[in-house]
Amino acid sequence: MTKTTKTAAFLLAGLLVLSTLSGCRKEDEKQSGLILDYASEGVVEMENPEELQKAFDEAKKAAQEGMFSLDYRNDAYSSDGKTFSCYIGNSRLNQDDIFIAIYADPECTDELYISQLLRPGVAYETIELNRALEPGDHTVYVPHTKIRMIDGAQTIVGQVVITLDFHVSSD
């Protein structure tokens, strides 16, 4: 990451913090008389504002490309511990394909399931795990991985890990 890109990323983060803080102040804090001084130590003047704006725009675009919408229900149900009724999909709001994986542990080493690619607007209503889970309630870890073709290769361009609750009845 170049110095300019780091600066742009820092500015983007700062803008997000400022916008959040400006909306969260309590009435008594608005009247507290807090005044911030200008930084004078450890700072430099910007040499090229156009280059900084370009880096800011690139950092903003990169952040947007890494984000995507999730489409799922938090609970899945099974009577045999292996075949689950669920709803896990790729939101139609996304532009890229995704695949999902399901793991029994937070380190994502105990694999239970890996899907094929899902186009935007497509979801699984039933999945079959690699092995059966015992009767009871299980928290599983589900990475949603966004894939895009870049230079003829499937490339990961974003990932979000969520937890779901898998319930196995004890018939």
pLDDT digits (tens, 9 = 90+) for 63-82: 566 567 888 999 999 999 99
Taking 50 as the pLDDT cut, the residues of the chain under it are 4-32
Same domain, 7 and 54: yes
What's the longest Cα–Cα distance across the chain? 71
Same domain, 49 and 74: no
**Coil, helix or strand for 38?**
coil
Do 141 and 102 touch, CB atoms closer than 8 A? yes
Distance of CA 41 to the CA centre of its chain: 36
Same domain, 105 and 129: yes
CATH number of domain containing 80: 2.60.40
Q: What are the residues whose beta carbons fall under 8 Å from the beta carbon of 140, sequence distance 6 or more? A: 102, 103, 104, 112, 163, 164, 165, 166
**Coil, helix or strand for 6?**
helix
pTM for this one? 0.63
pLDDT digits (tens, 9 = 90+) for 123-136: 999 999 999 999 99
Structure-token pair, residue 95: 């532009």
